C-alpha cells in the first residue's frame, strides 16, 4: 500500500525514481542493450499517453468484440516471460458490449521458419493458418470492391470531361451566333454557365471519391502487411491469457479497420476452450 505523502515528499520521491530510471537506462545503453532501453522508453511514453487519455477514453466509440474476434493491442513492457509489446490476441469474452472498457484476450504469436510444430511447448496451441486465410479473404474482397469503385470513378471522370467539352463547344457557338445581340447572348450563356456549375459540383464529389479511394487503397496495403505476418500460421499462448483495457487496442477501431469482423470459427474456439481447461485446471 502506498503511503500518503506531502507535495514536498512526492517531489523528492519523483526525483529519486526518475534518477534511478535514468541510471538504469544509461547502463543498458552502455552495455550494448540499446534495444531493451528503447523498448522501455517507448513503453514509458505510451503508458504516459494512456494515463493522460484515460479520463477522455470512451469505449463506446469502439466496436463490440464478439468471442473469437482478433485484436491488435499494445501489451506494454512487462517482466520476465510475461508477453509484451504490440501483438495479436483472441477475444475470450463470451459476450461484450461497447460499454465494456476491458476485454480478456489470448495472445498469439506467428509461426516462425524455425518453429518445430511437432514438439511445441505444452502451453502453445497451433491454430494453423485460419487467421491468414481470413485476412487473405478480406484482402481479396476489398481488392475487388476497390477495383469496382476505381472503374466507376474512371467512368465519372470521363463523363465530366465529355460534358465540359460539350458545354464549351456550345458556349463558342452561342458567342458566334449571337455576338451582335448581347441581351440574347447573355440569357443563353447564363443557362450554359448554370450547367457548368452543376458539373463543377459533380467534379467536387468526384475529387472526394478519389480521396476515399486513396484511403481505401492505403487500408488495402495495411491488410496485405497483416496477411504476410500470418502466412505460416499462428500459435495461441495459453500461459499468457490477460485482461486489458480497450485503450490498448490498435485495431479494430472502427468498421474500416483491418481486423474489423475478423473472427475465428466456432471449431477453433472449441479447441481453445479444451486446451485452456487442460492447461489451467488439470
How many CA within 13 A on the CB side of residue 131? 31
Looking at the 3D structure of the chain, how many domains does it have? 3
Q: Are residues 245 and 125 in the same domain?
A: yes
Q: Are residues 152 and 282 in the same domain?
A: no
Q: Are residues 62 and 109 in the same domain?
A: yes
118-122: long-range pairs with CB below 8 Å, 24+: 120/235, 122/279
Q: Are residues 278 and 261 in the same domain?
A: yes
Q: Are residues 105 and 191 in the same domain?
A: no
pLDDT value of position 48:
94
Q: Are residues 59 and 36 in the same domain?
A: no
In-domain check, residue 157: yes
Domain residues for the domain of 249 are: 55-74+85-113+121-129+235-282
Q: Are residues 225 and 264 in the same domain?
A: no
Q: Find residue 234's DSSP bridge partners.
A: 110
In-domain check, residue 79: no
Mind listing the pLDDT tens digit for each residue in 123-144? Answer: 999 999 998 888 888 878 877 8
Q: Are residues 200 and 166 in the same domain?
A: yes
Mind listing the pLDDT tens digit for each residue in 84-101? Answer: 888 899 999 998 888 889
Q: Please list, in sequence order, all residues whose beta carbon lies within 8 angstroms of the beta carbon of residue 265, skipping any fewer than 6 positions away.
A: 68, 130
In-domain check, residue 152: yes
CATH code of the domain in which 270 resides: 2.30.30.110
Q: Within a 10 A sphere around the Cβ of 159, how many other Cβ atoms?
A: 13
**Measuring CA to CA, which residue among 73, 117, 130, 123 is closest to residue 263?**
130
What is the reported pTM? Answer: 0.75
In-domain check, residue 5: yes
Q: Mean per-residue pLDDT for 176-198?
A: 62
Q: Are residues 240 and 125 in the same domain?
A: yes
Give dist(CA 237, CA 276) in Å, integer: 10
Q: Are residues 38 and 89 in the same domain?
A: no
Mind listing the pLDDT tens digit for each residue in 145-171? Answer: 777 877 777 777 777 777 777 767 776
Q: Are residues 61 and 109 in the same domain?
A: yes
**Measuring CA to CA, which residue among 22, 100, 111, 94 is closest to residue 63?**
100
Least reliable range by pLDDT among 17-26, 42-51, 80-89 = 80-89
**Measuring CA to CA, which residue among 136, 148, 154, 151 is closest to residue 224?**
136
pLDDT value of position 2:
72
User: At residue 234, does pLDDT exceed 70?
Assistant: yes
Amino acid at each position: 500500500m502506498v503511503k500518503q505523502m506531502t507535495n514536498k515528499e512526492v517531489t523528492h520521491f519523483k526525483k529519486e525514481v526518475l534518477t534511478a530510471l535514468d541510471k538504469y537506462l544509461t547502463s543498458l545503453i552502455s552495455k550494448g542493450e540499446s534495444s531493451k532501453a528503447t523498448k522501455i522508453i517507448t513503453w514509458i511514453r505510451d503508458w504516459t499517453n494512456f494515463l493522460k487519455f484515460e479520463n477522455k477514453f470512451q469505449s463506446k466509440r469502439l466496436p463490440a468484440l464478439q468471442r473469437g474476434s482478433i485484436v491488435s493491442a499494445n501489451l506494454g513492457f512487462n517482466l520476465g516471460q510475461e508477453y509484451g509489446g504490440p501483438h495479436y490476441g483472441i477475444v475470450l469474452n463470451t459476450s461484450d458490449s461497447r460499454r465494456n472498457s476491458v476485454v480478456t484476450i489470448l495472445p498469439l504469436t506467428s509461426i516462425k521458419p524455425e518453429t518445430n510444430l511437432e514438439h511445441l511447448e505444452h502451453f502453445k496451441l497451433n491454430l494453423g493458418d485460419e487467421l491468414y486465410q481470413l485476412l487473405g479473404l478480406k484482402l481479396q474482397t476489398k481488392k475487388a470492391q476497390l477495383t469496382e469503385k476505381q472503374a466507376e470513378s474512371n467512368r465519372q471522370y470521363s463523363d465530366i470531361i465529355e460534358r465540359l467539352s460539350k458545354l464549351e463547344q456550345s458556349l463558342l457557338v452561342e458567342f458566334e451566333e449571337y455576338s451582335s445581340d448581347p441581351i440574347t447572348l447573355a440569357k443563353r450563356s447564363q443557362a450554359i454557365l448554370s450547367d457548368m456549375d452543376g458539373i463543377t459540383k459533380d467534379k467536387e464529389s468526384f475529387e472526394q471519391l478519389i480521396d476515399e479511394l486513396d484511403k481505401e487503397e492505403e487500408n488495402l496495403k495495411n491488410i496485405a502487411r497483416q496477411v504476410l505476418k500470418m502466412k505460416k500460421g499462428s500459435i495461441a499462448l495459453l500461459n499468457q491469457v490477460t485482461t486489458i483495457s480497450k485503450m490498448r487496442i490498435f485495431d479494430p477501431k472502427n468498421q474500416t479497420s483491418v481486423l474489423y469482423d475478423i473472427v475465428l470459427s466456432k471449431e477453433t474456439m472449441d479447441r481453445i476452450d479444451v486446451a485452456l481447461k487442460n492447461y489451467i485446471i488439470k
